[in-house]
Chain A
Amino acid sequence: MRIRMAGATDIGRKRKANQDSIFYDEAQGLGVVADGIGGRRGGEVASSIAVNSMKRVFQSSDTIRHGEVNSFLVRAVDELNQDILTRGQLETEIAGMGTTMNCLVFVGDRLHLAHVGDSRTYMYYAGHIFQLTIDHNVGTFAAKGWLNPDQVQPGAKDEALVKALGLGPNCEADIYEVALKPGQLFITCSDGLSGMIADNEIASIVRKNYSKFDAIPQLLIAAANAAGGRDNITVLLSEVR
Chain B
Amino acid sequence: MSMKLERYYLVRRDHREFIGPMLIDEFKLRLERMDFGLQDELSGHCGPWVVLDHKDDVTKHYPDVASALGESLSLSWREATGHARVISRQDSRRDRKKSKPAKQAHAESRNGFNDFLNEQKKKSRRMQFAAVGIVLIALAAAYWMLSRKDEVPIAAEYSALIGKPDPSDFLNAMGMKVIPYPQKYLKTAKHQSQWLPLFRMYAFYTTGSIEGVSQKLLKGDQPASAPIDCSVETWKQKWRENASQLAPFIQGKALNKNQWTKILSLDPNWVRRRPAKGWVKPRNFFEGCLLTASVAIRSISGDPQFGVDSKDVMTEDLVSLVARRLQHQLEVLANGRTVSSMDRSSMLGQMTCLESAASLQDLDSCRSASEFALRPLMDEKYALALVRIATLQQQGNVDPRIVAQIPGSLIKISGEDLMSRIDITPEYRLLGYLTNGGSIEQALNKVDQEYSDVKFR
Using CB atoms and an 8 Å cutoff, list the residues of chain A in contact with chain B. 123, 125-132, 145-146, 148-150, 174-179, 198-200, 203
- With beta carbons under 8 angstroms apart, the residue of A123, A128, A198 that contacts B44 is A128
21 contacts between A and B (CB under 8 A): A123-B18, A126-B8, A127-B45, A128-B8, A128-B44, A129-B45, A130-B10, A130-B21, A130-B43, A130-B45, A131-B43, A146-B228, A148-B225, A148-B227, A150-B257, A150-B258, A176-B17, A176-B18, A178-B18, A179-B18, A198-B46
- With beta carbons under 8 angstroms apart, the residue of B8, B17, B21, B46 that contacts A199 is B46
Given A126-B6, A126-B8, A148-B258, 14 more A-B residue pairs with CB atoms under 8 Å apart are A125-B8, A125-B21, A128-B8, A130-B44, A130-B45, A132-B18, A148-B228, A150-B257, A176-B17, A177-B16, A177-B18, A179-B19, A198-B46, A199-B46
Please count how many residues in chain B sit with their CB below 8 Å of the partner chain's CB atoms. 21
Q: How far is the CA of A131 from the CA of B47 in the complex (A)?
A: 8
The smallest beta-carbon distance between B59 and chain A, in angstroms, is 20
The binding surface of chain B is classed by DSSP as loop
The smallest beta-carbon distance between B305 and chain A, in angstroms, is 31
| Residues 240 to 265 of chain B near chain A (Cβ within 8 Å) | 257-259
Residues of B within 8 A of A176 (CB): 16-18
- With beta carbons under 8 angstroms apart, the residue of B10, B224, B225 that contacts A123 is B10
- With beta carbons under 8 angstroms apart, the residue of A128, A145, A149, A177 that contacts B45 is A128
Q: How far is the CA of A176 from the CA of B18 in the complex (A)?
A: 8
Task: Give B16's nearest chain A residue, CB to CB.
Answer: A176
Q: Which of A128, A132, A150, A200 has the most CB of B within 10 A?
A: A128
Interface string of B1-38 (1 = CB under 8 A from A): 00001111010000011110100000000000000000
Task: Give B19's nearest chain A residue, CB to CB.
Answer: A179
Q: How far is the CA of A203 from the CA of B227 in the complex (A)?
A: 39
| Residues 183 to 241 of chain B near chain A (Cβ within 8 Å) | 224-225, 227-228
Task: Give A70's nearest chain B residue, CB to CB.
Answer: B16
Does the CB pair B5–A127 fall under 8 Å? yes
Q: How far is the CA of A174 from the CA of B16 in the complex (A)?
A: 8
The smallest beta-carbon distance between A176 and chain B, in angstroms, is 6
Does the CB pair B18–A129 fall under 8 Å? no
Task: Give A200's nearest chain B residue, CB to CB.
Answer: B46
The smallest beta-carbon distance between A215 and chain B, in angstroms, is 23
